[in-house]
Structures are given as C-alpha cells and as structure tokens.
Amino acid sequence: MAAPATRTHCPYCSLQCGMTVSSRGRGGIEVGAWEEFPVNEGAMCRKGWTSGGLRGSRERLTTPLVRDRTTGALRAAGWDEALDLVADRLRALQEAHGKDAAAVFGGGGLTNEKAYLLGKFARVALGTSQIDYNGRWCMSSAASAGNQAFGVDRGLPFPLADVEQADVVVLVGSNLAETMPPAARHLDRLRERGGRLVVVDPRLTPTAERADLFLQPVPGTDLALGLGVLHLLDAQGAVDESYVAARTTGFEEVRRAAAAWWPERVERTTGIATDELRTLVAMLAGAAASAGGERSDRRPRVMVLTARGAEQHAQGTATVLAWIDVALALGMPGRRYAGYGCLTGQGNGQGGREHGQKADQLPGYRMIDDPAARAHVAGVWGVPPSSLPGKGRSAYELLDALGRYDGPRALLVLGSNIVVSAPNATHITQRLESLDLLVVCDIVMSETAALADVVLPVTQWAEETGTMTNLEGRVILRQQAITPPDGVRSDLDVIAGLALRLGATAAFPTDPEEIFAELGRASAGGKADYSGITYARIADEKGVFWPCPAVPEGQAQHPGTPRLFADSFATPDGRARFVVPEYAGPAEEPGSSYPLHLTTGRVLAQYQSGAQTRRIRDLADDGAFVEMHPMLADRIGAHDGLPVVVRTRRGEMKAPARVVTTIRPDTVFVPFHWVGVNRLTNDALDPSSRMPEFKVCAADVLV
C-alpha cells in the first residue's frame, strides 16, 4: 500500500506553491499537485515538480565535517565533537575580542521558526549585534519604501489573485513568467477579461511578450521613468485630488519634484520615447479606449508591482518610492483590486525579516532601538532588556568587516551561499577566508561550505515542519513528509545545541510548533502580529494573513488581514506619505573603458545561488551565458555559442555568448546562479535599505 501523501509547500520562491509529497522506493519522494491550495491551484514550475531530486543524492551531506588544522582538509566528525569545537572557539574569540567578534548570517529561505530562533540565539546566547541575512539583497529596498510610505512592509498588501481583477497592471523589473511561472496565469486571466499589462524591463522576457505595452529603459533609470509618469499625470489633471487630500500627506513637494521631469528629459535619460510614455500615462489615467473600443470616465483600477529589477540598485528605495507615488497620485492604495505591491523573491523573504534576523529588527517587525520593543521581547525571552545588543551591520557591511581588526572573527551561516550570491564576490570570499572560524549549515557542499572550518549537515524542506510567509503575507505550514537521513539534524537542533554549550539561560526549544507559539507571543502588538495564528488554523484555512492578533478567550478569533489599507495606513495619523525621490542615476555609468551596462537576473530552471537546483539532474543545463544584442555581437566579433569575456572594474568572467534581439544593444545580461557574475557586480549600497546595486554596473565585453 502506498504511503499517504502529505500536504506541504515548495522549497523555492515566495509563491510557496502547495504540493503533496509521498515516499517512494529507496528513500526517494514523489511530488504531486495540491489543487485546493489557492495560491497555485495545483500548478507548479519545473523546479517545484523536481524538488525531490536531492533526496538520496550522493552530494547530500550526512555527517559533520571539521577542517583538520594539520592537513587543511575536511574530515568526518561526530556531532558532539563538532558542536563542542564551535562553542569553544566562539567562546574563546568573544573573550579575546568582545561579543561582536561572533556574527550570524541567515537566509530568506529559513522557516519563521528558524529565523526567530536564530535572532534569539544571536542576541541572547552570543550577545552579539552582528546578525543579518541574504534577504537584505532581495526586497529590502521595497521594504524600506513601504515603511516610509505606508508605515508597514508587507510585499503584497492584497492576495495575489487580485491581480486578475485590475484594469491595468504595471510590472516594473519583474520577469514573473520565468521566476514564478504559476503566478503568470493571473496575468493571462487579467488580459482575458479585458485588463491591460505594462512591463518595464531592459529585456523582452517571456513576461514582456504578454504585455500590451512594453517599455525597455536603460538599466538603472526606472526612477526617472516614474517621475516622468508623475509629471504627465499631474499635467493632464489625472491626479485623484480628493484621495490625495483625504488620505495622504506630502504631495506638493513631490509635485514640484516631478515638474522637472518633462517627457523629453525622461526620453534622454531612460531611452523611452515620449509617445510611449504618453501611452502609458493614458492607460493609467483611463483615457485610452477600453478593450471593447468604448471610452469610459470610470477611473481604472491600477496596480503597480515592483521586483528586483527596480529594487536592486543604489537608488532602489527611491525608485520604489517613485512608483508608490504614482499609485498614490492615482488614488489606488487601499482600493479593491488596485494599489502597490512588491513581488517578494525568496521563499520566506517576507517572514524571514519579520522575526529577528535583520540587524535592526526584533520579532514582530519591531525595531531594535525602540525601548518598548526591547522590553516586550526581552520579557518573552526572560532576559533583561539591557542585555540585548543594539543595531548591527547590514548584510554587505557585515561581510565586508569580517576578519578586520574591528570586525567579527567568526561567522555562523545558515541558509545562504555567500560565495555565489554576494556582490563583488571575490572580495567577500577573501573576507570569509580571513576568518578565525567559519561554520556553515547546509544540505550539500556549497561553494561557501567548501571554505568552512566546520560544516554541519541539516534537514531539507520535506524532512522538517515549519511555517513560511509567502509574498501575500499568508502564513503557511510546511509539514514534514519524510524522515531525514541518518546523521542529519535540523537547524533548530544546531541552534539549541550551541546555545546550551554557550551557557544560555533562556529556553531554546527544538519543537517547531512550540517555537511558533513563542514567536506569536514575541510578535504580539507588533506590526507583523502572528499571535492569533496557530498551526491548526493554518492547516484548516490554507494559510492565515498577518496581522492576526490574539483575542481574549471567549471572543471570536481574528480573521486575519488579506487586504491592508482599506480604512487607514499604518502611520501615526493613518495617512500615506508621499516621499520625494531624487534621481542620481546608477553608481557606475558607462564610459570609454566600460561602455556597456551589465545586468543580472534569474532563468527558469535555476533558483538563487543554484546550490540545490544545479545538482538536480532534471534541471541540468549548460551553465552561465552572456546575453547580447546582434548589433553588439557584430561590433565586437562575437558569435552565438562561443565564449566571450565580460569585464568590470572588479573582475572578469568567461561564458558563451547568447545573441538575441530581445535585449537593448547597450546592455548585456548574465544569470547569477553560477559562480562568476557576482564577482563583477557593484557593491554600492542604497543609503536607506543597504541593498547592493546588483542590477547595473559599467562593463565591457571582449572576444
């Protein structure tokens, strides 16, 4: 008799598609459709269907590894030996150099329980302020902009299915059809019912091929485009003045800033022709003909969605704010089937930052420098508020400080492959190599694990239970479907084992449901309040949207909040904030030595650093490539399929050319799933979010 299937969720992107998992012969697993789960309705991409491919793989780590100080090689060790060694060396380094000599680097794919316990471990067991995570590189610019404009950061303040009911959807820097294929059906349904799709991207992607209007700007100029849209909306009297007066503040300052961005200036900056800009504004304002050829005075429902293409810039926060300003000027946020949202990338990019693995935050999206927040969380943890450290370094700044005289000497890494994913990666690899102690928890020997002094083998998604928070703010439950291999432990066990050895007096449970209940208490009253959510509710309701506060016994439970901002925004006065975005351009502009723009992104078959997907046979491909326009290829003598060299001020890489007509002639694109391109990317940081400028730098290509 076949084993019953377990309802759980995909291990990859922030859709967190529902799926079923059941055991198969010789330790394998079989993935099936969970058609009732509303986010994907049984649909999955190639990565989801093949997500069991690492189960039973020869590359799976199943024993701790410790680097021999004599030979320099990694050798097998027992769990007690490995954890004792890590704890002893952490203790010695902190005694010699202070609490901040130890640092922690987490990941946007960790469950809420892991993210919460990791933050608690850093602040209580280690007493260090040095903790951040790779989600800082995912959607932190949108988070910063959302907090400034709306008073809260939730990627989508409405369910994803609302996209279908909009009249116009503007995607800025998103290739949804390849990065989240099951979500693209909402774009198709939008167009089937007469809605219109606008895509802004330097590349004509499979998403852009669906568009009614495709705009192909110079990389790094989406901010100027947003200001140009605002200029024309105001000039044409399309601003919703009553909404602006009733529900916002700060519009006059933004109006004055946008006045300087007339269409011809926008064209010179972005490469977007003035007639294309006017067409976009007509669609947003409702002046364009409807799908049936009739004109209507009804204000269209406009939805603006940004993703990494707009956000991974030194001006990423300002870029997002410009497009939020567009949505506010049109009167959309808080309106049904309209507004602004961010398409979160990583599986738990949302929940991962809400509960304590960011340098400046405590659970519940509380800020660590807020005395009331410190008191509340310290009370849950049973420690004095004064014992909690303050704000630490952001992700890139933390990595850049490793091994320096005033920086961390030890780093514990969970859920991140830094060597592949960090900007200016050669430099960051050197910082990792300078450490006195590098500890990596992983399921395979990633490029980062290969540098470690201690490698700890941990469970993968189907072997453990825990919650995730998807791009909609829907808290979902990944249920354990199979037994982990012998010799493997959960990240929760690793954290608890180290906390015990370091003498922590606070509790570090390992049962995920117990940890989630504690997380709920710690988040109670915060912006991201999970206190009314339980495992049972998630299972019964197919996810619960935060905020969902607990209510007194005897009262009806809070229903959760699928849609935010209907009545007010999460600001002190309940009004949204217009914020003036000032355009400065990319940190690196092309010149005589580096005449091109280099941009990066994902491809359909791979995910993030590729540590998992590159090892799955069914997703195997030829590796990195350099996408370029035929005009560029002809100029430099490049040929499709033959190698070229891409150079920037930070290094160079070689990969085959892929000659296509779908990219700007002044731009080259390289996917980031392999070691290579992030050795070239710029580590210039956004002043607000501390997001590196992954999406554009000056480059040259040689044959």
Helix axis angle, 251-258 to 316-329, nearest 10°: 110
Residue 617 has a pLDDT of 86
CA distance 381 to 121: 11
* pLDDT of 522 over the 50 cut: yes
Task: Please report, for the chain, the start and end positions of each structural domain, with discontinuous segments joined by +.
Answer: 6-49, 65-137+348-510, 141-342, 596-702
CA distance 244 to 219: 31
Q: Which of 128, 131, 154, 120 is nearest to 518 (CA)?
A: 120
Burial of 82 (0-12, 13-18, 19+ CB in 10 A): buried
CATH entry 3.40.228.10 includes domain 141-342: yes
* pLDDT of 296 over the 50 cut: no
Question: What is the four-CA torsion angle of 35, 36, 37, 41, rounded to 10 degrees?
Answer: 40
Residue 3 has a pLDDT of 63
Reported confidence tier of residue 288, pLDDT bands at 50, 70, 90: very low
Provide the H-helix boundaries in 525-629.
Answer: 535-541
Max Cα–Cα distance, the chain, nearest Å: 79
Length of the chain: 703
CA distance 338 to 237: 20
pLDDT, tens digit (0-9, with 9 covering 90-100), for 120-162: 999 999 999 999 999 998 889 999 999 999 999 999 999 999 9
The CATH number of the domain covering residues in 6-49? 2.20.25
* pLDDT of 295 over the 50 cut: no
pLDDT, tens digit (0-9, with 9 covering 90-100), for 367-423: 999 999 999 999 999 999 999 999 999 999 999 999 999 999 999 999 999 999 999
CA distance 586 to 599: 12
- Please state whether beta strands 643-648 and 651-659 pair in parallel, antiparallel, or not at all (unpaired): antiparallel
In the block, residue with structure tokens 């299915």: 161
CA 465 vs CA 477, 482, 498: distances in Å: 7, 10, 21
Provide the H-helix boundaries in 239-354.
Answer: 241-247, 251-258, 263-270, 274-285, 308-311, 316-329, 349-354
Residue 289 has a pLDDT of 36
Please state the rounded mean pLDDT for residues 568-590.
Answer: 96
CATH, domain 596-702, list 3.30.1330.10, 3.30.460.40, 3.40.109.10, 2.40.40.20: 2.40.40.20
CA 182 vs CA 378, 468, 590: distances in Å: 41, 18, 37
User: Which residues 6+ apart lie within 8 Å of 656 measured at CB?
Assistant: 622, 625, 626, 641, 642, 643, 644
Lowest mean pLDDT among 55-69, 158-172, 556-570: 55-69
Terminal alpha carbon distance of the chain: 59
Reported confidence tier of residue 554, pLDDT bands at 50, 70, 90: confident
Please state whether 438 falls in left (phi above 0), alpha (psi between -120 and 50) or beta. Answer: beta
CATH architecture of the domain with range 65-137+348-510: 3-Layer(aba) Sandwich (3.40)
CA distance 78 to 84: 10
Please state the rounded mean pLDDT for residues 604-630.
Answer: 89
Residue 608 has a pLDDT of 87
CA distance 47 to 57: 16
Reported confidence tier of residue 294, pLDDT bands at 50, 70, 90: very low
* Phi and psi angles of residue 4, each rounded to the nearest 5 degrees, phi first: -65, 145
CA distance 88 to 82: 10
Reported confidence tier of residue 293, pLDDT bands at 50, 70, 90: very low
pLDDT, tens digit (0-9, with 9 covering 90-100), for 58-102: 899 999 999 998 899 999 999 999 999 999 999 999 999 999 999
Q: Which of 246, 353, 234 is nearest to 285 (CA)?
A: 234
pLDDT, tens digit (0-9, with 9 covering 90-100), for 654-702: 999 999 999 999 999 999 998 889 999 999 999 999 999 999 999 999 9
Reported confidence tier of residue 55, pLDDT bands at 50, 70, 90: confident
Burial of 96 (0-12, 13-18, 19+ CB in 10 A): exposed
Q: Are 154 and 564 in contact (CB under 8 A)?
A: yes
Lowest mean pLDDT among 270-274, 321-325, 481-485, 511-515: 481-485
Residue 2 has a pLDDT of 55
Partners of 670 in the β-ladder: 600
Residue 182: DSSP 8-state: G
Lowest mean pLDDT among 315-319, 493-497, 605-609: 605-609
Lowest mean pLDDT among 183-192, 297-306, 482-491: 297-306
- Mean pLDDT of the chain, nearest integer: 94
pLDDT, tens digit (0-9, with 9 covering 90-100), for 188-201: 999 999 999 999 99
User: Which residues 6+ apart lie within 8 Å of 496 measured at CB?
Assistant: 117, 508, 509, 510
Strand stretches in 164-278, DSSP E:
168-172, 196-200, 213-215, 248-249
Count of other CB atoms within 10 angstroms of residue 483? 12
